[in-house]
Amino acid sequence: MLIFLGGVHGVGKTSMCEGIPEKFGLKVISASAIIRAERAHPSSDSRTAVLNVGGNQGLLIAGVQRLVTDAPGNYLLDGHFALRTLAGNIEEIGADVFHSIGVGGLICFVDEPAAIAQRLTTRDREMHDVDAISQLQSAEQSSAESVSRTLALPLKVVQAFDERAFEQSLRDFVDVSVEDK
């Protein structure tokens, strides 16, 4: 089982993945770490913008396919449903990418854009535009809903830092996975 966890930079995906997924037998993997591992050299991209979204998704597909072949198991993949390019445009990740990596369930974290901006400012020590975060978060959620409809995958939209809702979402996906076997 591969569950995809998406949301904008700074929404709290990494923080929420500390300890909770392991309770459900899930190994947490980061889409950006897989992409970096698939590259011949380290990324020079900024922390929150991407030079080549399409090329990165090809690397992600190859990396996830290699991972699940080499180390079968249940995974929670931390990534994005939409990304801001270095040119400032928002690019949604196509349903074909989620299909190619074998995603069985989707979770999208959301939060107040001002709260996300504050976390990013604290983390990165630079100011972040609340409107830009709001636009990207809307695109993330819209893309998540589109992927869910297109691939007939269950989607859980979870308020960031709501541990109970996150745990229930994981439980629902893991229970369905066990029932399918």
pLDDT of the residue at 110 = 99
First to last CA, the chain: 11
pTM beyond 0.85, yes or no = yes
pLDDT of the residue at 43 = 43
- Mean pLDDT, contiguous 10-residue spans, the chain (181 residues): 97 93 94 88 45 74 92 96 93 96 98 97 92 98 99 98 97 76 49
Residue 88 and residue 138 in contact, taking contact as beta carbons nearer than 8 Å: no
State the fold for domain 2-176.
Answer: Rossmann fold (3.40.50)
Structural domain boundaries of the chain? 2-176
Question: How far apart are the C-alpha atoms of 41 and 115, rounded to whole Å?
Answer: 34
pLDDT of the residue at 169 = 97
pLDDT of the residue at 40 = 59
pLDDT of the residue at 39 = 84
